[in-house]
Amino acid sequence: MTEEKRTEIVALLRKAYNMELETVCNYTAQSINLDGFRAKHIKDALAADIVEELGHAQMIAKRIKVLEGIVPGSQELEMNQTELQPNGDALDIISVIKGVIAAEEGAINHYQAIIEAAGDIDPVTEDLCITLKGDEEEHKRLFKGFLAEAMQG
């Protein structure tokens, strides 16, 4: 792998690491902030996903290190998940669900970009990101079901 390609892949992995940690922060906030009977399953799913998303971040961090990159600290992170921010309405499950779907779509698209960048030159990173993309697709499917149910009543 060329130095240029390694640098590109590490940069993409650093962004994925950032995205996973931001998701952990927002899922934590939303899993605590939501109230009401209808929120129970959403809160439980978010709480379970926190552990999985943190695991994703750890796997990505290890890959960054193997590729001789530096895992970013908190001051290098950028927070961009505007759709997942608490809005002050603890009963608004629909905005939370839509925020989760948006975050998962962002992760899916980013993992696809890494898969394409890694291609045949870095099959380990490609394989890791295929697995992580699959996890994110499962989360998105679950929350699309929650959204359909919430919109019915």
- Reported as half-sphere exposure (CB side, CA atoms, 13 A), residue 74 has a value of 1
Q: Is residue 61 part of a domain?
A: yes
Q: Is residue 64 part of a domain?
A: yes
Taking only the tens place, the pLDDT of each residue in 75-134 is 999 999 999 999 999 999 999 999 999 999 999 999 999 999 999 899 999 999 999 999
Q: Is residue 25 part of a domain?
A: yes
CA distance 97 to 139: 11
Q: What pTM value is reported for the model?
A: 0.95
Mean pLDDT, the chain, integer: 96
Long-range CB contact pairs, 80-87, < 8 A, 24+: 80/22, 81/22, 81/23, 81/26, 81/106, 84/23, 84/26, 84/27, 84/30, 85/26, 86/29, 86/30, 86/33
For residue 108, the enclosing domain spans 3-148
Q: Is residue 142 part of a domain?
A: yes
State the total domains in the chain.
Answer: 1
pLDDT score for 153: 64
Q: Is residue 153 part of a domain?
A: no
CATH of the domain at 101: 1.20.1260.10
The pair of structure tokens assigned to 138 is 């499962």
**C-beta atoms surrounding 31 within 10 Å:** 19
How far from the centroid of its chain's Cα atoms is residue 127's Cα? 17
